[in-house]
Structure 1
């Protein structure tokens, strides 16, 4: 074994939260054609005490996206489509827009189409609800606006990848499951890999996924989705290593097809996005080029990472969400290669600040902080350190020195300052400002209260009064706190962070992957309620 016992000990330390009596995962590493490490951790089925083995199957979630793109590129190789074609050429009924959106823009996440899981949430569906391809078709037919002009920005979009699977079906007259089986999985001898397009299907050797509820109790997480294209592949590391080997030595496509997948998308202003076709692409601080994609659904997690020039391939699959698999991959790559494999641009276009300075700090950093306009975390004092409360888990933060703290379970470093914190993780430093809130006048609260309807999601929210502010209520989803930044701008602590912008008896709801969904007050006049996100109307 490459590196021997010492290497195994270092890798084992990354997965200490995967215990013998909990859900776990499987790690497989190949270097220069040699399988240098593979190991199973924990249980595939906690109820029946069935351990994870080499044959255990996992849902790889968004790691599936590279296979969707490869299906499209195989069709282009055969002359059956062009990735710069307008999507309406193939699926006109699912594209209710006048402007052109290309297949390439779907693959690069630059289409501006709204994110399907945001649409689900804002329409009143729960994550545990059954999710089918027909549901997504019905949502896409209702869409009337885009988040931005196609090609002008990057926004990760599962809807676009579902539409890619629909294009495969429209062109081939067969499901993407069948097309991928005949043209990818069978030729590469990936016998255990397939697209799950029926959530009721019985799958031998399939793991179940679980999560720790934060109180020391394990619970089962459910995945009731049969949506394909954006997600949905079932596989294991042994099969996925056959796929990564194909990246290094292609046998079922032209080499330029795989090179195309690994080229960063480019915006209209010539900015590179850091995302190719189903793959994130970048370099490490030591100059090693890599491409990767991870995935998460329920408590399943997966990560696939390849350093082509170093001939290093890493696969991790899990039924336990407790470990950051991307961070684990970068750390393992450093252990194996002996180089600094910290990424230079992890997360695409997110700008990194200079290395934080160590300063004396005696203030109180307790409070809520906005992270990348995507979610809110809270710091609470605990002994000499703090607790970091995220939307899903709570992590202890230990004092290192001066204003520097570390969350050992995450591997992130935090630097505390008055009014903001700096977070150093995966080679980047980002700033997070403390949330400050205002108290609204009673008259303004009364003006905002009422029922609001959105045509695009067919969803209704009620704005209700609370002490000095408002809250957002949904009949099925529950009640969500709204933090007032002004008398018209609010941050809503939804499943992920959202913003509400009120004007003219309406509000626009925006999230990380969907901007400007218009909710009109029921019973109000429509004059003046036009959304600014109308670059591409039907």
Structure 2
């Protein structure tokens, strides 16, 4: 017994000195392994947070390896077969699969209204179906955005009951069900609760009994108890001002998130979806992989718990995840019998980028066969003097998110500034066209003169176009801010904000959140960090309410007390 312990200790020490975990599966030439190692070189060493990669190809694990540490404090190395990561939103496809199992059992239908299974969900006047929830087309407000606005921290213990009580208080939707796509975690918490109530088991128990055990996913579970001990769990980290810090996660809810798994288990799961073992499973996977359709008949790239994202001419079905410092990505290519999973415990790891670089190595021949032509080169920048650049400066209204973008000159570059603080340099590639720098993808900003004035068009790498019209930004007068001061209460969140004028600024205060300044945009519209606030007046011209909008919440009412 003593000798066995000694040998294990020696092996552990050797792993620490090497800085990477031993391979659990290796079927590739040394040159290929070296190429993969170079992709993950930033994670090499025991003093770094880590990552694990696994590749499934032609019916087996073709490659898997761990890099860096699962626990930096103790220098415990990452392994691809045993280190368990929280994979955040990659969870959602498992939640949809659980719903489809119950549909196959005859216990429910994707077209059931959610109130049939969870009557506490408010009646918004139009039925919200399980199908709407599974495709992010329900119009419901996102749980995380609601909780944060209500004063919760994301490292608080958040249970399903907390989320259900919040849902129960909602009075409005962002839009009518089926009209739009807007990513919504709330829907998947409700789907998981539907599984629990329909099956008589907890969601964690149901998925263990009906999914993980039958598929032999021995290191996979849904984590719904923040005090539960999970052997070999990786802890998460982020970097602030070049200092590594722990990113604490205490979720006690599952469905939208909270799947714990390994890189190897994820690609085994992907193989199950790529190669369904029965007609029953084949029908379920076909439903999961089908593009969701809006009321107007259009699709938007979203399927059910997944997204269809073609990659270099190949069909890819994928989803990523991000909670605390955990990051994950699972991409599968059914037509090539291929899947790649990258999981990490470091917030800046970028697993989608890493995974697709690995895919490039393994799918090189397929990519060459299926690409329609060479990828066009990135357009070169052109010279433009500062006076010409200044002509594009100004403020542009982003109507979809009820906020603005600012263009201004700094150190010889135009800056694309987002309300809330983040910004990127843009460089000219034509008289009125600019490319966005420092983001690793080809995004183009174009300016045109139209009847209503100047319009800025943003085109993302996927071809989606956003138009933003210029407007005159007005600096707020501190003397006028007094009319906005007061207490604002949201019955839907059961929380209040105090607006006060301090040192010439209008500030928002909450008893659990940092003070945030409100910046006047135009009229009675302000930005509050990344959010937008529109103030409403009563017939006497007095401020009566504040309507707050975020990317996943629209016009949440705070009544002035």
Query: Could you tell me the TM-score, scaled by structure 1's length?
Result: 0.84
CA distance in 1, matches of 2:397, 2:41: 29
Range that drifts further, 367-376 or 158-167: 367-376
Question: Would you say the 8 A contact 1:57–1:206 is kept in 2?
Answer: yes
Flag the 1:86–1:236 CA change in 2: closer, same or farther, 3 A.
same
CA distance in 2, matches of 1:491, 1:297: 26
Flag the 1:335–1:382 CA change in 2: closer, same or farther, 3 A.
farther
| Deviation readout 1:77-112 (Å, 9 max, x if unpaired) | 011111111111111123443431111111111111
Question: Would you say the 8 A contact 2:416–2:426 is kept in 1?
Answer: no
Give how far 1:430 is off.
6.1
Flag the 1:439–1:423 CA change in 2: closer, same or farther, 3 A.
closer
Give how far 1:136 is off.
0.8
Range that drifts further, 12-21 or 121-130: 12-21
Matched, 1:11 2:36: yes
Q: Which residue of 2 aligns with 1:362?
A: 385
Query: RMSD of aligned C-alpha atoms?
Result: 3.5
Give how far 1:33 is off.
2.6
Range that drifts further, 188-197 or 423-432: 423-432
Counterpart of 2:520 (choices 484, 504, 518) is: 484
Matches within 5 A, 1:442-521: 442=478, 444-465=480-501, 470-493=506-529, 497-504=530-537, 505-521=544-560
CA distance in 1, matches of 2:215, 2:420: 38
CA distance in 1, matches of 2:29, 2:464: 34
Give how far 1:39 is off.
1.8
Flag the 1:65–1:19 CA change in 2: closer, same or farther, 3 A.
same
Give how far 1:328 is off.
2.6
Q: Which residue of 2 aligns with 1:349?
A: none
Flag the 1:399–1:212 CA change in 2: closer, same or farther, 3 A.
farther
| Deviation readout 1:497-526 (Å, 9 max, x if unpaired) | 21111112111111111111001101xxxx
Range that drifts further, 135-144 or 463-472: 463-472
Matches within 5 A, 1:133-144: 133-144=160-171
| Deviation readout 1:263-295 (Å, 9 max, x if unpaired) | 111111111121111111132342x21111111
Flag the 1:3–1:392 CA change in 2: closer, same or farther, 3 A.
farther
CA distance in 1, matches of 2:419, 2:263: 30
CA distance in 1, matches of 2:559, 2:419: 28
Matches within 5 A, 1:109-128: 109-128=136-155
CA distance in 2, matches of 1:451, 1:355: 51
CA distance in 1, matches of 2:162, 2:234: 26
SS in 2 for 1:29: strand
Question: Would you say the 8 A contact 1:18–1:320 is kept in 2?
Answer: no
Q: Which residue of 1 aligns with 2:259?
A: 233
| Deviation readout 1:122-155 (Å, 9 max, x if unpaired) | 1111111111111112111111111111111111
Counterpart of 1:304 (choices 315, 330, 337) is: 330
Query: Could you tell me the TM-score, scaled by structure 2's length?
Result: 0.80
Flag the 1:97–1:421 CA change in 2: closer, same or farther, 3 A.
closer
Question: Would you say the 8 A contact 1:299–1:321 is kept in 2?
Answer: yes
Counterpart of 2:440 (choices 381, 392, 411) is: 411
Give how far 1:473 is off.
2.0
Question: Would you say the 8 A contact 1:422–1:429 is kept in 2?
Answer: no
Question: Would you say the 8 A contact 1:105–1:111 is kept in 2?
Answer: yes
Q: Which residue of 2 aligns with 1:210?
A: 237
Give how far 1:9 is off.
4.3
Counterpart of 1:153 (choices 180, 200, 204) is: 180
Q: Which residue of 2 aligns with 1:536?
A: none
Is the helix fraction higher in 1 or 2? 2
CA distance in 2, matches of 1:392, 1:499: 10
Question: Would you say the 8 A contact 1:437–1:483 is kept in 2?
Answer: no
Give how far 1:385 is off.
7.5
Q: Give the number of the structure whose alpha-carbon radius of gyration is greater.
A: 2
Range that drifts further, 371-380 or 39-48: 371-380
CA distance in 1, matches of 2:417, 2:33: 32
Matches within 5 A, 1:10-49: 10-20=35-45, 21-49=47-75
Question: Would you say the 8 A contact 1:414–1:421 is kept in 2?
Answer: no
SS in 1 for 2:43: coil
CA distance in 2, matches of 1:63, 1:26: 15
Q: Which residue of 2 aligns with 1:283?
A: 310
CA distance in 2, matches of 1:379, 1:12: 40
Question: Would you say the 8 A contact 1:194–1:233 is kept in 2?
Answer: yes
Give how far 1:217 is off.
0.9
Question: Would you say the 8 A contact 1:327–1:426 is kept in 2?
Answer: no
Give how far 1:319 is off.
0.3
User: How many residue pairs are counted as aligned between the two chains?
Assistant: 504
Question: Would you say the 8 A contact 2:402–2:549 is kept in 1?
Answer: no
Higher relative contact order (CA 8 A, sep 6+): 1
CA distance in 1, matches of 2:535, 2:157: 32
Q: Which residue of 2 aligns with 1:89?
A: 116
CA distance in 2, matches of 1:184, 1:2: 28
Give how far 1:464 is off.
2.4
Flag the 1:14–1:490 CA change in 2: closer, same or farther, 3 A.
farther
Could you list the runs of 5+ residues in structure 2 that have no partner in the other structure?
Answer: 1-25, 372-376, 448-453, 538-543
CA distance in 2, matches of 1:423, 1:42: 38
